[in-house]
A and B are shown apart, each in its own frame.
Chain A
Amino acid sequence: MTKSRKDAAWVKATLERLAQEILAATANESALVVVGIRTRGSVLAERLAASLQTAGREIAIGHVDVTLYRDDINNGGGRKAIGASDMPYNPEGKTIILVDDVLSTGRTVRAAITEIMDFGRPARILLLAFIDRGGRELPIQPDFTGETLKVAVDKKLQLRVKEIDGEDAVEEE
């Protein structure tokens, strides 16, 4: 059973609001690097970068696939395909906006931070969680949050995006 939690209009409005918050919080910084966590975080990062550019900011985009940095990488189950990480800009000294679609345990974000550090030493990393469903297992908190949603532990909460899933929505299974 899937249950719709948010619709396309909400996704659009929330991304716009987050873009405004980022502009305000980084007003004094020249260049930002928006880094998406593959796969749906990457889609959000692309959209977010586009609206930040429209607002006149200089934006670089990167993507990380954190598979190789996960702490459960050798827990079995076979190896699935991994996407290439793509960090065309050296993050040295830059401010990075790290974009996660659904934040829960914080383990994915931990892996992403470790991976970004392997490309260079950023000035700082700010975390954007489009949805925060709680359940943290690591001391990681977002700097920008789309919305905090309460979800039972055994339920899956998924952000759907039209680039991959054909629609923008948040669904609970």
Chain B
Amino acid sequence: MKWTRKHLLGLEDLSAEEIMHVLETADSFKEVSTRSIKKVPALRGKTVVTLFFEPSTRTTTSFGLAARRLSADVISVGGQMSSSVKGETLVDTARNVEAMGVDIMVVRHQAAGAPLLLSQKLDCSVVNAGDGAHEHPTQGLLDIYTIREMCGKLEGLKVGIVGDITHSRVARSDIWGLQKLGAEVFVTGPATLVPKDIDKLGATVIDDMDTLVETCDVINMLRIQFERQEEAYLPSAREYSRLFGLNAKRMQKAKPNVIIMHPGPINRGLEISPEVADGNKSVILRQVTNGLAVRMAVLYLVAGSE
């Protein structure tokens, strides 16, 4: 197939074929990072801006390195630095940045739909790096990439997602993307943090963590996001850890070839214990490595859309 999309806003509107095209393109880019000169000239002369209105280390670093390894020029604009604190609107800020000759804008914003709005108002490509509790498509893609790499397939796999499903854009991107490629998705978490209508997205709710651990080939542990908890969704961190945390004892119930994922940053000892996070089933750092190749693929693909 040929990739013709100018923007990457989410996995909900991508076809299975398009997702596979990104994964296969990422296969080729993975090799680039193993060379003595870790760079290809594909985006020479292109300018990529990362415009982040929420804090992030991993995702900005990953996008920044991905763009540099494609030989693009990269500028990072943070929400605190930008004039948004002086009252400028999102669209005005983005238009001003774009006016300096930007080809791709990578956007993270606390409001769901912000990247979609920018894609309608700007001429450059827009890549969603996380919008509110809506989608985080490159995280979804790197999760799917890692599962495919480790398990050798996606069709028929059982993938469990654990934790704060309500506030998780990663969960939404994973659910949409994985199901398109034939995987089955299960979720569990505190009743206050699992949306009642999540089954409408096709995911199956499992009430207790032990059952999910026994059922799944892949367990994706979401981070408990204290910064998003305006109300008291959790009785206590200790209780959460007891009911939904993944520790060595609970891992004894898991399938022998299970893999453990986490989008980071991890709260050690809360949702995941150190011996599991650092254990031989954990692919957490592999996710980070793959994230770079996946983001190179995404930037390369959207840049070729004209």
Per-residue contact bits, chain B 267-306, to A (CB 8 Å; 1 contact, 0 not): 0000000000000000000000000000000001101111
Cross-chain contact B2 with A119 (CB below 8 angstroms)? no
Given contacts A65-B28, A83-B28, A86-B31, A76 and B304 within 8 Å (CB-CB):
yes
Cross-chain contact B36 with A119 (CB below 8 angstroms)? yes
| B100 interfacial contact with A, CB 8 Å | no
Residues of A within 8 A of B42 (CB): 67-69, 73
Contact residues of A: prevailing secondary structure: loop
Residues of B within 8 A of A69 (CB): 40-42
Q: How many A-B residue pairs have CB under 8 A?
A: 62
Residues of B within 8 A of A115 (CB): 40
Given contacts A69-B41, A73-B42, A80 and B303 within 8 Å (CB-CB):
no
A residues contacting the other copy or chain, number (CB 8 A): 24
Partner of B36 from the list A65, A68, A90 (CB cut-off 8 Å) is: A90
| Closest CB in chain B relative to A82 CB, distance in Å | 5
Residues of A within 8 A of B1 (CB): 80-81
| A120 interfacial contact with B, CB 8 Å | yes
| A25 interfacial contact with B, CB 8 Å | no
Given contacts A65-B28, A68-B42, A73-B42, A80 and B35 within 8 Å (CB-CB):
no
The contact size tier of chain B is 20 to 34
Cross-chain contact B2 with A80 (CB below 8 angstroms)? yes
| Residue of A68, A73, A115 with highest tally of chain B CB at under 10 A | A68
| Closest CB in chain A relative to B136 CB, distance in Å | 22
Cross-chain contact B28 with A74 (CB below 8 angstroms)? no
| A77 interfacial contact with B, CB 8 Å | yes
| A84 interfacial contact with B, CB 8 Å | yes
Cross-chain contact B2 with A78 (CB below 8 angstroms)? yes
| Closest CB in chain A relative to B66 CB, distance in Å | 13
Stretch at the interface among B19-27, B107-115, B188-196: B19-27
| Closest CB in chain A relative to B84 CB, distance in Å | 31
Residues of B within 8 A of A86 (CB): 31
Name B41's closest neighbour in chain A (CB-CB).
A69
Cross-chain contact A79 with B41 (CB below 8 angstroms)? no
Distance in angstroms between the alpha carbons of A118 and B21 in the assembled complex: 26
Distance in angstroms between the alpha carbons of A73 and B43 in the assembled complex: 9
Partner of B27 from the list A79, A84, A119 (CB cut-off 8 Å) is: A84
Residues of B within 8 A of A83 (CB): 28
Residues of B within 8 A of A77 (CB): 2, 304
| A53 interfacial contact with B, CB 8 Å | no
Cross-chain contact A79 with B28 (CB below 8 angstroms)? no
Distance in angstroms between the alpha carbons of A74 and B103 in the assembled complex: 12
Residues of A within 8 A of B41 (CB): 68-69, 114
Cross-chain contact B303 with A74 (CB below 8 angstroms)? yes
| B4 interfacial contact with A, CB 8 Å | yes
User: Within residues 110 to 128 of chain A, which ones have a CB less than 8 A from any CB in chain B?
Assistant: 114-115, 118-120
| A85 interfacial contact with B, CB 8 Å | yes
Residues of B within 8 A of A65 (CB): 28
Cross-chain contact A76 with B306 (CB below 8 angstroms)? yes
Given A74-B303, A118-B36, 5 other A-B contacts at CB below 8 A?
A68-B40, A78-B304, A79-B25, A81-B21, A118-B37
Q: Can you list 18 residue pairs at the A/B interface with Cβ under 8 Å?
A: A67-B42, A68-B41, A69-B40, A73-B304, A74-B46, A74-B303, A74-B306, A76-B306, A78-B3, A79-B25, A81-B24, A82-B25, A84-B27, A84-B30, A85-B28, A86-B31, A119-B35, A120-B36
